[in-house]
Amino acid sequence: MASSAARAEVLSLLRSLLRTATKFSDYNIREYAKRRAIDGFRDNRGLTDPSSIAAAFADGKSQLEVAKRQAVVYSLYAPRIKSVMEAESP
Q: Per residue in 24-40, pLDDT tens?
A: 988 889 999 999 999 99
- Spell out the alpha helix ranges (H) of 1-90: 4-21, 27-43, 50-76
Give the integer Cα–Cα distance in Å for 75 and 72: 5
Radius of gyration of the chain measured on its C-alpha atoms = 16
Q: What is the mean pLDDT of the chain?
A: 87
Amino acid of residue 45: R
pLDDT at 4: 47
Domain ranges of the chain: 18-78
44 vs 5: which has the higher pLDDT: 44
Per-residue pLDDT averaged across 44-55, rounded? 90
Give the integer Cα–Cα distance in Å for 55 and 69: 21
pLDDT at 90: 62
The burial class, CB within 10 Å (0-12 / 13-18 / 19+), for 37 is buried
